[in-house]
Chains A and B, each alone.
Chain A
């Protein structure tokens, strides 16, 4: 649905976007993942026709953004990082205005879509309130509502859960997942769990370049170097960590700080071992046979955080 080839954007001498190419397929949720200043917002603004590219080709639903901007804008629902709201308007009036300028001329269609987005974005309680009186969470939802109101096939969401509290973040993510399939969604975020939970595919961007592109599981798999587990136990010999290091395949054992709790403070060891054989059984047995009480043995998956930092530092090195 979106086709971007060699997109480049220069602000004077500063290269904000450097030959980015990607595709957004029908029905999928594609995530732009990158630190602030990576070029995510710029790319989105160019895709919606708000900015012009210095070079490159962008086609949305078959229309070139540069030559047919109006057609593109009909097909896109865009939520910028700061929702573009008219503070003095009431929620309903604002949404009606948005509907009108998106081409919903017939009253009945407009009315139906209005009721639909109000329900879908849970704006029922505040629909007659002035926007300047709304909390951040509600404002974000109004922003989402205006992106949805004309039922566009493509949604472009810039940091959709920015500034929301954990409850609202979950709701927004659920909503986005529900919308996929019917809509094709491009979203940007610097919150890593969001990318892994919501998106089908992830593009990691930094300094205007795409560093990695893949589905989330495969990305995690490719970059994992070692398996990691964390052990929590009571008692046992004080050189238990050295004994564990001696086990085959174990690369590193490090002691983690534990909050002192009452009579016997447990110890926590973080263990790294080579990918391949599952060493958890050996670890557990060694701990128990040494006389310690094993309290917890859990895997530490390589989080997207670590992948992200690893990738972005790799390129800089």
Chain B
């Protein structure tokens, strides 16, 4: 257990020594903020405008006041953006986790020390996951402002964060696996990005086709299992899905590292 924490902490700290952490977090928060401002305050399409528009329309037509769910409009959209943007940025976080160790020879240090491969894999995973968590944290500020000036639903926000965190765990485990397969960070990054894109495509298939493939895709897609969380529902099937996905990624990473002994 101690070893897991040592490895985690060393890796997490080293993210912040190089520009990696700052750039990734900065870009992420900037993009999400940009999306938030657009969805909320854009003069033609933003929430404020749309609300006023339809209220004034309803008044002029003497209809009943329409109800507005800021949740559906802004909050869901933002969480969707968080998932999409992290799909692009997470390869940057995970690509160095094992590839750098292999390249610089420090993996030899770790594998000749009394550290089990499990501890190594978990430590690395936790570091990537913690960085992802650090990246997500500032988005809470947006919702904080919504609360200050409005009355959104807390429930869906909390469950959406839970879903995002589980989603992150699953996706990071894939990135970790790919990083453990190569010494070259660029290759790891590109392959991870391709893998994530593939996951996203599966999600799209599940949305668009109504054939049997659509159903199959929806069972394995990382994106469909999020929907319940967005609505405020925590379904154990979704939680288990993400946890199993993450476990599979970590298990395969373990095998990849263990197989290095038999070069």
Contacts and interface: CB of A to CB of B under 8 A. Distances in A.
Contact of B114 (A74, A87, A97): A74
B106 A50 contact: no
Interface in B6-30: 6-7, 10, 14, 17-18
A102 interface: yes
Interface size class of A (residues with CB under 8 A): 20 to 34
- Most central of A45, A86, A103, A146 by chain B CB within 10 Å: A86
B151 interface: no
Contact of B263 (A51, A82, A85, A86): A51
Nearest to A89: B14
Interface residues of B, number: 24
Interface in A66-82: 70-71, 73-74, 76, 78, 80, 82
A102 B112 contact: no
Interface of A: 11, 45, 48-52, 70-71, 73-74, 76, 78, 80, 82, 84-89, 97-98, 100-103, 105, 146
Given A50-B108, A86-B14, A88-B14, A102 B263 contact: no
A49 B112 contact: yes
Given A84-B106, A87-B104, A101 B14 contact: no
B112 A52 contact: no
B110 A101 contact: yes
Contacts, number: 66
Interface in B94-121: 104-116
25 contacts: A11-B263, A45-B108, A48-B112, A49-B112, A50-B112, A50-B261, A51-B261, A70-B114, A70-B116, A73-B115, A74-B114, A84-B108, A84-B109, A85-B104, A86-B14, A88-B14, A88-B18, A89-B10, A89-B17, A97-B6, A100-B2, A101-B6, A101-B113, A105-B2, A146-B109
B17 A88 contact: yes
Contacts of B18: 88
A105 B2 CA distance: 8
Given A84-B105, A86-B106, A105-B2, A73 B7 contact: no
B114 A80 contact: no
A78 B112 contact: yes
